[in-house]
Structure 1
Amino acid sequence: MVSTLEEKHYRLALSLVSGIGSSRLKKLVDHFGTAQAVWKAAYHSHSVISPNIARQIAMEANNKLSQAKEICQLHEAENIQLLIPGTLLFPKRLLELPDCPALLYYQGNTLLNNKRIISIVGTRQLSLYGQRMIVKFLEQLHPYQPLVVSGLAYGTDIKVHKEALAMGLPTIAVLPSSLDNIYPVSHRQIAKKIVACNGGLLTEYSMGSGIRNYFFVARNRIVAGLSDVTVVIEAKEKSGALLTAYYANSYHREVFALPGNVDNATVAGCHQLIKRNQAHLLTHMDDLAYIMNWNVEAVPKRDRYATYALTPAEKLILAQYQQTSDPIAIDVLLTATALPLGELHIALLSLELQGLLHALPGKRFTVARPLN
């Protein structure tokens, strides 16, 4: 009987053979049961394996198997695991997909089969409104302790990963690149932090792989398939986020979309999903939890400011935002807090410097944290 390690070698070797992509590899292994059985069948006449592919396997067998073993050793040296379907660590939700990956590379320390998994995606041109809603939604999700998935891209994705890390939620970044070539380059430090904390990096591509346009599309299908539910924060009518939502719908997963200003092109895709009944309208994560049947015992509300050394005046100001995320004018804050004007100004400036408040035109302030 073939061992798991040997099966990994044979499966990886097959993926290296010219003419065998992920889809064909999956079909062959599904038919013959194991990758080793595919190798053996290639030396005999078989209707499932085309003559051209059979010749390629026979010609490249020894070389590709040796190469596969070297690749496995290279990944092991970097604490990168090769995951294949049928093993304990492989994401079970992906097994339900018709285009399930034949193999995956994973670096991290959290399980990929969490009880609750949610993907959050959206535009790269994330607005302040989108930033605030990500923070708000993740705080609302905190009692449910989901695994939070996104794609490490600019804008929405990186904001999701950073906020999940800040709140102690496990997060997975699905990459369109190999783990030795993190894309985008500017997010490599965050990727390292994800691995060091309670999270991980996941990809279909082995070390040394380049980056091709179709890798991004393939990445989006994994983001959707890995999760129980996909949330679209902001998206244009043609965007990768909408493609992720399309995949999620095709996999019979739930999709939610955040509504926004109808004059804003960056939310037109969300409105399109809602109008076409391709997504639930999302205003509060309790609605999502209800539809997903994410029942939890009552959990005390988490203090999002617990890690900040706030003065009594600063706490008093932030308390005004417990029931609203709308901007509040300084004269309203002055009346509500009963603070002396000078002390109010000092506290507001301090909260701005800490990234907890944003100053807006008209002497108004809103709760927000910057992307970085």
Structure 2
Amino acid sequence: MSEEKIYQLALTLTPGVGNFTARYLVSYCGSAKAVFETSKSKLLKIPNIGKVIAEAVLQKSTLQKAESQCLICEKNKVQLLFYTDTHYPERLKTIADAPVLLFYKGNAPLNTQKTVAVVGTRSASPYGKKVTEELVSSLAKFASLLVISGLAYGIDAVAHQTALKYSIPTLGVMATGMDTVYPSEHKNLAAQMLEKGGLLTEYLWGSKTDPSFFPARNRIIAGLADAVIVVEAARSGGALITAEIANTYLKDVFAVPGNINNKFSEGCNNLIKENKAHLVNRPEDIEYIMNWQWMEENKKITVKNDSKIWKNLPEEQQQVLHLLDKNKEMLFDELSWQSQIPVNKLAGLLLDLELQGLLSALPGKKFVINN
């Protein structure tokens, strides 16, 4: 494992350095290693970096712990993905509270074309299990698709199992270290997922379960997904947290309606009632909302920069088209961040460009330039 990986992990272990501060320091210094090689006096000159953090960075014990963890990861074929790495999930790069470092084991590409999270109650009913099987199995016809869930009892497990049955890559996002499968009854399931899929966590090797880890895990599930499907959920709980987070990330949320007298359908029914989720009656509903059939029919989209048309457009519209021309395909959040155009204004601007036939909206709030 490279020396830079040790420094990257050490940065996340430094007291007082969270995800935001880690990015901030790397942006100033150039790399994780450079942060640790910067003198205390120079660190103190960085805005908002005080004495406590500057002194913490200089502690050698943090590097020693990081080196020990890296050796364990290397021995167990666990990859360390830093937010600047090519293989770090692109969908998380635009999310402010995403982990700067992830631990990954498996062979599924994390930056695949389509990603779907399927979540729900641990106390799944026969109806919930059947619907989950139907929805997940229907996704097998799509190429480059990843099914994501949390490896928990109930809906999560059925989603993973069905994906494996139909040879769909599936990813389990864990609320523990990579060495601890929770619940332990799912060790065999986790092992099968490593053969066609993978496991992902932000927690160190040796980390056990903690109540606070589950909501944090749910933000990763929401961030990774283009679409979040809630099959069965009570009024409160992990699945509802994932749906709420997904909505704040501007992801497409779907909910399966259920019996009004079943408490484990109350959460889904409320999401639909409050217009926080699309209602799902059949698999085709997801395909239609996500526009996936269009994607399958138009896999080869070539970008053509028609400068004669562009030069007559307003400056901000030209700016958006140039960004798309450079990046080929961009998320709404990426466009907003890089263009610095307010979200409400950008939404109208993109719609106008789409109506002019200059760009197309893809599933998961992505945009590309038309031919």
**What band does the TM-score fall into relative to the shorter chain?**
0.7 to 0.9
| 2:353 counterpart residue number | none
1:189 matched to 2:206? The reply is no
SS in 2 for 1:213: coil
1:213–1:22 CA distance, 2 compared to 1 (3 A): farther
1:302 counterpart residue number: none
Counting aligned pairs with the same residue, the percent is: 41
- The answer for unaligned runs of 5 or more in structure 2 is 299-371
1:96-144 superposed Cα distances (whole Å, 9 cap, x missing partner): 1111211000010111111110000000110111011011112221111
1:13 aligns to what? Answer: 10
Instruction: Decide whether aligned partners of structure 1 residues 250 and 101 sit closer, same or farther in structure 2, where only a CA change above 3 A counts.
Output: same
Q: Which amino acid aligns with 2:10?
A: A
Residue 235 in 1 paired to residue 237 in 2?
Answer: no
Q: What is the Cα-based RMSD across aligned positions, in Å?
A: 1.7
Aligned to 1:154: 153
Secondary structure of the 2:105 match is: strand
In the other structure, the counterpart of 2:114 is: 116
Contact map agreement 1:191 1:201 (CA 8 A) in 2: yes
Q: How far 1:5 sits from its partner (Å)?
A: 2.8
Equivalent residue of 1:249, what SS? helix
What TM-score results when the alignment is normalised by the length of structure 1?
0.75
2:362 aligned residue: none
Residue 85 of structure 1 and its aligned partner are, at CA, apart by 1.2
Q: Which amino acid aligns with 1:21?
A: G
What is the CA deviation profile of residues 215-273 of structure 1, one whole-angstrom value per residue up to 9, with x for unaligned ones? 11110000010111100001111111010001111111100000011111101111111
TM-score, length basis structure 2: 0.75
Tell me the residue number matched to 2:32: 35
Q: Which moved more, 1:163-172 or 1:8-17?
A: 8-17
Alignment of 1:316-331 (within 5 A): none
Q: Does residue 50 in structure 1 map to residue 79 in structure 2?
A: no
How many residues were matched structurally?
292
Q: CA–CA distance in 1 between the matches of 2:198 and 2:81? A: 13
Distance 1:283 1:74, change over 3 A: same
Alignment check: 8 A CA contact 2:20 2:96 kept:
no
* Separation in 2, partners of 1:30, 1:217: 28
SS of the aligned residue for 1:261 comes to coil
1:103 to 2:81 alignment: no
Mapping of residues 1-372 of structure 1, within 5 Å: 5-41=2-38, 43-44=40-41, 45-46=44-45, 47-58=47-58, 60=59, 62-145=60-143, 146-196=145-195, 198-295=196-293, 296=296
Describe the SS at the equivalent of 2:190. Answer: helix
Name the CA distance, whole Å, in 1 between partners of 2:151 and 2:241.
Answer: 16
- Alpha-carbon deviation of 1:214? 1.2
Give the distance between the partners of 1:32 and 1:275, measured in 2 at CA. Answer: 49
What CA distance in whole angstroms lies between the structure 2 residues aligned with 1:226 and 1:66?
31
CA-CA distance at 1:63 after TM superposition: 2.5
Following the alignment from structure 1 to structure 2, what is the Cα–Cα distance between the partners of residues 97 and 215? 18
Cα separation, partners in 2 of 1:213 and 1:25, compared to 1, 3 Å: farther
Tell me if the contact between 2:137 and 2:162 (Cα under 8 Å) persists in the aligned partners.
no
2:80 match: secondary structure? strand
